[in-house]
Structure 1
């Protein structure tokens, strides 16, 4: 795939130093680390290797990737590896996509308290689905959920929401049956929205009482428990947006969807149109338009573009992909195996043939030679800041 003409890394390298100086003391260390990682990604600053064709001697240089989860260039490979690990967990049932959002006013507080409120968003949405699914009047089963946090809208706005993928059914309370949902229908979104509307404010009050929330500016008074309770009260009577899409076409469609969403970053390099010291232009999709062309071009001041991108840097150590119900990590393999037996899924036979060792397959690469299709081998490894001894044109490839 050809390299985009313009990248986030180019914007950070060209205009990041001035932005850092102008915002010194107002930027989190984690955000500065993300900027540095993206700037260095796939450059000689991180080292790399030289690969050579075993047949005709073609050589190319591949620089190491930063592997930062906010880097647009690193997430494609990360998504493929993650999906390969999850492929064996797929079940031959319908899968549903449910989205949970919060009111914009609460999203403002979420930005000030990312770890606490984003964590609450995960817990409240998962509890909502597992509680309704367990209700005998609904599904009467233990559901399984994979939840992914996105914090952005298409225009780089702050819009925290959960994308949830759930198999259409669950384990019976005694664990001896698979309980399937009605074809094309998982759980009623209005029922989900009402419970979510109750659970999230309740969780917010618990965080406030525990002193885990901080407030600023005109909302500084919400540090008082009574004031926060009064401020939250109207949200218990407003509509909270929960929506569900039609079921996927099959397990392959689920994999394709997850590969796009699990490791997505706030904006991809391919959406960038142009950038200079004053303005960055990029494509975005206006979802308020119900029909017709939603694609538009947005222009932000360069300093604002950098700030908007860094809004979506998550706290260090915060997991943006989580599993609940029978997909919870502790018992996922056991539960999946049990469900596959209940659904009479034929699992592939695994042979115990040893994989070839280094002496039979020394430092070879997955990708073949672009000239002849032959095997490529690593002929030189160079460390951070070093330059390769072998002369070869650099190639846009993660090492």
Structure 2
């Protein structure tokens, strides 16, 4: 019996070393994503097209997110069917991390917008292979009653990854050096997880025959047959669209709306650190409390309301003090949301044999907002009310998402 099947059958909790290694690998993925997203891509857009920096950033991030939206479920489904001796998930973690590092190196060498697009699309393609495999390892290995705790530690790794990525991009000494620092960190961070070699193994005899039609059809999960999965997908999409709108233009918000007089890169780093501070204070404890109570929805609903309040502060209090307060509040809400919503999602997956694919479909709700956020944000900032309207919209999206969580019936 494989390790993952043994854990599921006995309910045995995973060890702290495995959770730590998984969290560190996940942290590396987020460093590879958010060093570029928080600062480096914006700086390249400003360098190559100073008169159209917002539109260029929207183009680059939108195309990359489109790649992510396809790559995550495809690689998740491929990992479900992988029969390597090392396991179903680990080979994709290795390949994805290596490819992501190569894409970051290409970005460091980029001298034009097309080169930036190519490098960022490679980063998104490869790191989504790694992320899909790491995410699927949780329902493979972790009993349901412990998933809030593990989701909390993954939330810690996410926010620390954003913070570390932002810090590396800020202090490395230039755009190229920032990309290389993020690449090195991502590769090193995955090594403990790979060397641990704890993974589920699928025998060739158990792998279903491959047919393109059934493989592609599997990515459509009918919300009429699986309504809770459909509502979980929609609420996650709305929450992530709100968060993407809130964070993607933070650098320009500080320079153009707040008129931050010091170095704006440092301002973004400070706000990210404050957000991380309050997030870390809630992310693990909320997951543990959710596990103990057996309830998920109340935590997710309340966290959505807190996120909405934070974004509305950004809309109405456009000062450095307002940005600081909003960042602190946003961290509280997103900390609770990150851990408990992940546990909720693993509880509504339609089939155990397709966890990688189904979580990949869920992760479209993470990637699609990155496509839509710049498409929405650019005209709102330019023509429809500026940053007041933009962050007001973000608050409304989080509010609607938190309300719709109540439609999920099979989870308390």
**When the two structures are superposed, what TM-score results if normalisation uses the length of structure 1?**
0.28
Question: Which structure's residues are more often strand, by fraction?
Answer: 1
Find the structure with the greater CA-based Rg.
1
